[in-house]
Amino acid sequence: MKAVVNVFLKNGVLDSQGKAVHHALSSHGFGSVHDVRVGKQIIIEMGENNAEEAKEKVAQMCEDLLANTVIEDYTIEMQA
């Protein structure tokens, strides 16, 4: 089983990387881009058979280590 975790800054937290990418895109003629947010993706291969139990474990990983929940949110997608 595979877990795909996307971690990104919460709304209202300054995303300096996103601002830099937005500026670069605008400079390259992509003026229709209104906003850019940069995050990270973590792919975890697991030996679990139960998707719900695996998702609970991944959520605990996010809370404990993978995300700074003060300033970051995360999503988890489980794949067979």
CA dist list (Å): 60 to 28, 38, 55, 57, 67: 41, 23, 9, 5, 10
Report yes or no on whether pTM surpasses 0.85.
Answer: yes
pLDDT value of residue 64: 98
Contacts of 41 (CB under 8 A, 6+ apart): 4, 5, 6, 7
pLDDT value of residue 50: 95
Instruction: Show pLDDT as tens, one digit a residue, over the chain (80 residues).
Output: 999 999 999 999 999 999 999 999 999 999 999 999 999 999 999 999 999 999 999 999 999 999 999 999 999 999 98
**Maximum distance among all Cα pairs of the chain, rounded to whole angstroms:** 48
CA dist list (Å): 34 to 13, 22, 25, 37, 73: 17, 8, 10, 11, 21
Domains of the chain: 2-79 (3.30.1280.10)
